[in-house]
Chain A
Amino acid sequence: MSLFFGLALAAALQAPPPGILVERRLAESVPLRVGDTVRVRALASGATPRPFVVEGVFERPADPSRIARNEYEVRFHLPDLEEVLGTRDRVDRFAVVLSPGASPDSAARWIEGLAFGTRAYGSRALADRTSATFRVVSRFHRAIGIVTILASAIFLLCVMIIRVDERKRDMGMLRLVGVSRGTVFRSIVLEAIGITVAGSAAGAGLGIVIAQVVNAYYARYYDTTLRFALVTPRIVVLAALLGLGLGAVAGALAAWRVVNVPPQRLGER
């Protein structure tokens, strides 16, 4: 019996330190490699640091709510974490991955029934609770977008009126030689649509280039895979449709001014 206890003690004394996983950014900044031994203690506990072996390096999922916090992440086995913290059977937060088809509501109710005071949220509800800031930012962006579109529409209308005014004599000549009001009207509207669609295409192209520059800069700055600016197909289609609509309206307003002036007066300054 004493021999057995002696062997067990020797094995315990010679057992390698437990393993941990460290986040890539931490591994690069220290630097740490797999197989390195580190000594860890909880700041609040005041306990003696314990050795751990780096068993792996992981990439933390990109999370916009944590991007500005300069935190590093280390993953322990749960018993080791309890040892380090000096507290047992205590968990602040944990995530549960459900099997495909499992009901998140049923799982949440079951978990809440396990321990009094536990609150369980589905991922969608949790995202709603934690993304209030982003919703405000998104509304702010939408407001900027609407103001930009309104300003662009006014600018476009002014451009079309100036362009048409510059060519009033030509328009007058066309009407004098018998070109119908409809043809003059359509040509101006088509020109305006052409200008706005070309502008939308150029804007979308410029947006894609700028988004790539912005993303490259912040990816480097925050060392993240998050993308800060996106030009999606939906945005491109929306820009093209807005171009069509705004061009048609601006062209129609500019054309209306011309076709309602007698042709012989279009040559007057």
Chain B
Amino acid sequence: MSVISARGIVKEYPYGGDSVRALRGVDLEVGPGELVAVVGPSGCGKSSLLNVLAGIDPPTEGRVELLGRDLGALGEGERSRLRLREVGFIFQRFHLLSVLTAAENVEFPMAEAGVPKGERRARARELLEYVGLGHRVGHRPPHLSGGEQQRVAIARALANRPKLVFADEPTGELDRRTGDEIIALFERLNADGTTLVIVTHDTSVAGRTRRVVEMADGVVVRDGRAGG
């Protein structure tokens, strides 16, 4: 079973009295355990595709199945619950809550999912250890470096043990060395069985994934599977 199955995706946004077509018929299948990079220049539709695939934005046309569920048949509440419990998100600008500590940021999605307090404390600590921040659990985001903040964001994305993680320009705010460390972390995560879809324009990130989906003008122009 595919983790993501998208068929004939069209996405239009209203613009003035007209509309702008951001996606012009995208087909994409992502299987379990894949590490996929979606690349392309700015404005090619990468972020629009991520929003549609994650059930954040409904497509104008086409059908998306996420983890075996038809997103078009789910209400907004059900899509939110699906994202909370089975999908992880990593953003370019980390988007950590600055008033919470690293551990509390990781606990937050678990609290929303109803995980008991003791269990989420233990799991948050375990996840921060996993991303190499076991010594920074009590620090707040403003006291962490960019790389450390992104590691906390990765730990938060893994909080509810998702089957799939979306990352939107995860190294965009980081220097090369820190970006490499984050990609290494993604590789480890993928080796542990998590499916990852990374939207990036960083060619070095794309070069370390097993599959590169290249977009231009709202369509997939190349889908380079390993060996393909």
Interface residues of A (CB under 8 A from B): 169-170, 172-173, 175-181, 183, 262-264
Q: Mark B25-52, 1 if CB is under 8 A from A, else 0.
A: 0000000000000000000000000010
Q: Mark B86-112, 1 if CB is under 8 A from A, else 0.
A: 011101010101000000000011001
The answer to whether B56 and A179 have CB atoms under 8 Å apart is no
The answer to whether B109 and A179 have CB atoms under 8 Å apart is yes
Count of interface residues, chain B, beta-carbon cutoff 8 Å? 24
Q: Mark B55-75, 1 if CB is under 8 A from A, else 0.
A: 011000000000000000000
The answer to whether B83 and A178 have CB atoms under 8 Å apart is yes
Neighbour of A176 across the interface among B82, B83, B93, B97, CB < 8 A: B83
The answer to whether B84 and A179 have CB atoms under 8 Å apart is yes
> Given the interface contacts A262-B57, A263-B56, A264-B51, does A178 sit within 8 Å of B80 by beta carbon?
yes
Q: Which residues of B contact A173 (CB under 8 A)?
A: 89, 91, 95
The answer to whether A183 and B56 have CB atoms under 8 Å apart is no
The answer to whether B80 and A179 have CB atoms under 8 Å apart is yes
Q: Which residues of A contact B76 (CB under 8 A)?
A: 181
Shortest CB-to-CB span from A22 to chain B, Å, is: 67
Q: Which residues of A contact B91 (CB under 8 A)?
A: 173, 176
Shortest CB-to-CB span from A240 to chain B, Å, is: 25
Shortest CB-to-CB span from A33 to chain B, Å, is: 69
Q: Can you list 28 A-B contacts (CB < 8 A)?
A: A169-B93, A170-B95, A170-B97, A172-B95, A173-B89, A173-B95, A175-B80, A176-B56, A177-B88, A177-B89, A177-B109, A177-B156, A178-B82, A178-B109, A178-B112, A179-B80, A179-B109, A180-B77, A180-B80, A180-B81, A180-B112, A181-B80, A183-B112, A262-B56, A262-B57, A263-B56, A264-B56, A264-B57
Q: Is the interface of B mostly helix, strand, loop or mixed?
A: helix
Shortest CB-to-CB span from B22 to chain A, Å, is: 12
Q: Which residues of A contact B89 (CB under 8 A)?
A: 173, 176-177
Shortest CB-to-CB span from A259 to chain B, Å, is: 11
Q: Which residues of A contact B51 (CB under 8 A)?
A: 264
**B21 located at the interface, meaning its Cβ lies under 8 Å from any Cβ of chain A in the complex:** no
**B208 located at the interface, meaning its Cβ lies under 8 Å from any Cβ of chain A in the complex:** no
